[in-house]
Amino acid sequence: MKMPPFKLHTPSSLDEAFEIVKELRRQNLEYDWIAGGTDLIPNYKWHINTKSDVISLSKIEDLHKISKNHIGAMARLYDISQSSEIHPLIAKSASLVASVMIRRSATLGGNICLDTRCFWFNQSEEWRESIDYCHKCDCGTGADCRVIPNQNTLCVATYQADMAPVLMGLGATIYLASPTGNRSVLIKDFFKLDGITKNILMEDELVTHITFPDDVFEWEGDYQKLTQRDSWDFPEAGVAVLWKKGDKGPSDLRVATTGIESIPRFHSEESQKIIKSWSGSDSIEELAESIRKSVKPVLNTWFQPSYRRKMVKVLSRRASKGLLEI
Ligand SMILES: Cc1cc2nc3c(=O)[nH]c(=O)nc-3n(C[C@H](O)[C@H](O)[C@H](O)COP(=O)(O)OP(=O)(O)OC[C@H]3O[C@@H](n4cnc5c(N)ncnc54)[C@H](O)[C@@H]3O)c2cc1C
Ligand code: SF4
């Protein structure tokens, strides 16, 4: 399919970007932020939610920084995966995204804000038109959700980005900016249930960077991902398990998942229950089972929900392996 035309803006500062936003709003024009474009451009090629204007963040120098407690939204996943300054688990998650060619363009901000996916939606316009579209992008048809019909209030498309679970587990804070001001929240509170809403970003707001608390390097752990092929593929499920070492087992434990529901999930209830009565491998088994029970995949990605749910247990167990060495 031919890419629909759009006007590309390339501001070199946030102030300049927000001036462009104000002008576009004055003209009643819609726009998208673009970072590496590895998801937005394929979506545009399929005519999914295209806009007349696109504002690139690539020339805003401040957004590219990487240091041990700070990663800019425009930091490339390849550079993150190769960095020896940041926490090794962040580098590991970045190294598991897509392929090296995609990671050279893909950014942290684009990964965190990645649109949700569903096999009824991530298709060409002709394909979607042939089924009369769906609720996420109904093109004025009032079409229903194909996965959970007869409700038309909720989209259950799946969040399939890799970086969120480890960032949640490390207690990252995400910083947002808009023409009306700046704010920050813990990244575990950034995501907002619904495959269309996805997160708390308001109109004209963007992600500038994330930071980590001082204790970030005291956390150890692992991130495990289920994919159809060894590289290139989106997570069909992903589990991060992180812990702080204590005298007899972990002194603190965090678990987060991705690729299963419309937003990544921080499983504080399950991990806090286990830590209170820690007993080695039995606790790992109990933790893995409780995470399996808590997730609710639907049928809109490659693998069957029942298989993805089973694999969440397997991935949780694998990501917890290091806990046996404490
Ligand atoms: C073949 C293929 C395989 C892939 N495999 C994986 C995978 O295994 N794991 C995975 O996680 N992803 C995967 N992806 C998806 C994607 O490449 C990555 O998630 C990438 O990190 C997206 O970053 P980007 O900079 O290219 O985002 P873009 O495509 O530029 O943007 C993505 C979305 O985020 C918004 N956005 C970007 N930056 C900001 C910001 N700073 N503030 C607010 N909104 C912003 C854009 O408006 C857009 O809606 C894959 C993509 C392809 C094409
Ligand atoms: S979950 Fe439903 S509304 Fe959302 S993209 Fe899929 S079919 Fe459309």
Q: Is the CB of 301 under 6 A from ligand 2?
A: no
Model confidence pTM above 0.85: yes
Q: Is the CB of 91 under 6 A from ligand 2?
A: no
| Of 71, 258, 242, residue with least CA distance to 159 | 258
Q: Is the CB of 128 under 6 A from ligand 2?
A: no
Locate the DSSP E strands across the chain: 7-9, 31-34, 53-56, 66-67, 70-72, 173-178, 181-186, 206-211, 219-226, 237-246, 249-258, 265-266
Q: Is the CB of 300 under 6 A from ligand 2?
A: yes
State the angle between helix axes of 305-319 and 281-294 in degrees (0 to 180), rounded to the nearest 10. Answer: 150
Which among 16, 40, 56 is the end of a domain? 56
Tracing tokens 């070199």 back to the chain, one arrives at 12
84 lies in some domain:
no
Which among 56, 75, 93 is the end of a domain? 56
Q: Is the CB of 301 under 6 A from ligand 1?
A: no
How many Å apart are CA 43 and CA 39, to the nearest integer? 6
User: What's the CA dihedral at 40, 86, 186, 216 to 10 degrees?
Assistant: 160
> What mean pLDDT is predicted for residues 235-239?
98
Q: Is the CB of 97 under 6 A from ligand 2?
A: no
Contact 74, 56 (CB under 8 A): no
262 lies in some domain:
yes
Furthest-apart CA pair in the chain: how many Å? 63
Residue 71's pLDDT band, with cuts at 50, 70 and 90, is: very high
Distance 120 CA to ligand 2 centre (A): 6
Q: Which residues contact 38 (CB under 8 A, 6 or more apart)?
A: 98, 102, 105, 106, 110
Q: Is the CB of 205 under 6 A from ligand 1?
A: no
Atom of ligand 2 nearest to the CA of 298: 1
Contact 20, 9 (CB under 8 A): yes
Per-residue pLDDT of 33-54, as tens digits, reads 999 999 999 999 999 999 999 9
Q: Is the CB of 120 under 6 A from ligand 2?
A: yes
Distance 324 CA to ligand 1 centre (A): 35
71 lies in some domain:
no
307 lies in some domain:
yes
Nearest ligand to the C-alpha atom of residue 297? 2
Per-residue pLDDT of 92-142, as tens digits, reads 999 999 999 999 999 999 999 999 999 999 999 999 999 999 999 877 888
50 lies in some domain:
yes
> What mean pLDDT is predicted for residues 204-219?
98
Distance 36 CA to ligand 1 centre (A): 7
To test ligand 1's pocket by mutation, which of 80, 102, 137, 185 has the most ligand atoms within 8 angstroms of CB? Answer: 102
81 lies in some domain:
no
How many Å apart are CA 122 and CA 194, to the nearest integer? 16
Per-residue pLDDT of 248-257, as tens digits, reads 899 999 999 9
Q: Is the CB of 253 under 6 A from ligand 1?
A: no
Residue 35: CATH number of its domain: 3.30.43.10
Which residue lies with its CA nearest to atom 48 of ligand 1? Answer: 40
Nearest ligand to the C-alpha atom of residue 156? 2
How many Å apart are CA 35 and CA 47, to the nearest integer? 18
210 lies in some domain:
no
Q: Domain count of the chain?
A: 2
Q: Is the CB of 136 under 6 A from ligand 2?
A: yes
51 lies in some domain:
yes
Which among 56, 74, 103 is the end of a domain? 56
Which uninterrupted H or E stretch holds 282?
A: helix 281-294
Tell me which residue range forms the domain holding 239.
Answer: 217-325
Residue 262: CATH number of its domain: 3.30.390.50
- Average pLDDT across the chain, whole number: 96
Return the amino acid letter for 315: L
How many Å apart are CA 20 and CA 155, to the nearest integer? 31
Neighbours of 252 (CB within 10 A): 15
